[in-house]
């Protein structure tokens, strides 16, 4: 798939946010060859040589450490560069920068309902070296975004959309299903969170409102000049 994407979109900048199944040499090597960025979850059971190197260099984490607050928590972010990962029968080597995060936050205990202090740790492999000025961007603003994407997919799999694992012999039909489900999720989120859309849905009824949206997207009354004018004008979006 990576080779096909590179052939179809040779100049497209790509950044991959990958879970703990993917930190391995055969995947990282083509990404580096194509100039793609990536951030991968590093589980405790993966890349033991990498974990040994991180543990050995832990005192040097303070050099690249930054501690901006994040969603009510106090993370301690640090990066380790110049690690070498070896893989394959004929040993290949790759540089493996690693960004780690140990954080403390307060959460509600589901059993007692009281606030408790909870500590957690996250470690990611980075495609690019880590410095004082980019460890927050690559850790909090980059690697953590994967959780939001995963939550969105989980909603579509398990909360009424029945996305799950769909198969089809017709590639166009499969793409159409994907786009329709994503649009359905988007419209539902807007309808639930935006007062104006919710009011239109109550006034017209859900089927009639969706018909208006479809006709708006399919017909020609959306003029290019009008859209450009709207994009250039600040507008409020109130979510409740």
Q: What is the pLDDT of residues 155-181, one digit of tens each?
A: 888 877 888 777 888 989 888 988 888
Extended beta strands in the chain, E state = 15-18, 37-41, 74-80, 84-87, 92-95, 98-108, 115-126
Cβ atoms of 123 and 20 closer than 8 Å: no
Average pLDDT over residues 204-233: 77
Average pLDDT over residues 221-230: 76
What residue ranges do the domains of the chain occupy? 2-106+115-154, 166-232
Q: What is the pLDDT of residue 183?
A: 87
Integer angstrom CA distances of residue 119 from 44, 102, 122:
17, 7, 10
Q: What is the DSSP letter of 81?
A: -
Helices 145-158 & 171-193 angle (0-180, nearest 10): 100
Looking at the predicted structure, is the pLDDT value of residue 62 above 50? no
Beta carbons within 8 Å of 54's beta carbon, 6+ residues apart = 80, 83, 98, 100, 123
Q: What is the pLDDT of residue 10?
A: 92
Average pLDDT over residues 141-151: 76
Q: pTM score, two decimals?
A: 0.60
Looking at the predicted structure, is the pLDDT value of residue 192 above 80? no
Q: What is the pLDDT of residue 70?
A: 65
Q: What is the DSSP string of 111-157?
A: TT--EEEEEEEEEEEESS---TTTHHHHIIIIITHHHHHHHHHHHHH
Measured CA to CA, the distance from residue 52 to residue 45 in angstroms comes to 12
Integer angstrom CA distances of residue 170 from 2, 12, 146, 174, 179:
21, 26, 29, 6, 15
Q: How far is CA 116 from the centre of its chain?
A: 28
Q: What top-level class would CATH report for the domain 2-106+115-154? A: alpha beta
The angle at the Cα of 147, spanning 146 to 149, to the nearest 5 degrees, equals 65
Q: What is the pLDDT of residue 240?
A: 52
Q: What is the pLDDT of residue 11?
A: 92
Higher pLDDT, 97 or 238: 97
Give the rounded percent of residues in the chain with a pLDDT score beyond 90. Answer: 7
Q: What is the pLDDT of residue 34?
A: 93
């Amino acid at each position: 798939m990576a080779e096909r994407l590179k052939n179809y979109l040779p100049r497209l900048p790509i950044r991959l946010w990958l879970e703990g199944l993917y930190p391995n040499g055969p995947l990282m090597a083509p990404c580096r060859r194509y100039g793609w960025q990536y951030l991968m979850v590093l589980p405790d059971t993966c890349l033991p040589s990498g974990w040994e190197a991180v543990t050995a260099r832990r005192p040097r984490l303070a050099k690249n450490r930054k501690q901006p607050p994040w969603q009510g928590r106090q993370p301690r972010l640090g990066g380790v560069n110049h690690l070498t990962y070896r893989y394959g029968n004929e040993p290949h080597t790759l540089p493996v920068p690693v960004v780690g995060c140990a954080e403390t936050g307060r959460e509600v205990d589901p059993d007692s309902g009281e606030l408790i202090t909870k500590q957690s740790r996250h470690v990611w492999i980075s495609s690019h070296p880590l410095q004082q000025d980019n460890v927050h961007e690559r850790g909090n603003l980059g690697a953590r975004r994967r959780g939001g994407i995963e939550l969105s997919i989980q909603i579509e799999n398990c909360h009424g959309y029945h996305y799950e694992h769909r198969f089809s012999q017709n590639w166009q039909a499969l793409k159409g299903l994907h786009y329709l489900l994503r649009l359905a999720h988007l419209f539902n989120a807007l309808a639930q969170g935006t007062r104006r859309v919710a009011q239109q849905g109550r006034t017209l009824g859900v089927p009639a409102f969706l018909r208006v949206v479809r006709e708006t997207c399919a017909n020609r009354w959306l003029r290019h000049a009008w859209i450009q004018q709207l994009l250039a004008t600040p507008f409020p979006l109130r979510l409740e």
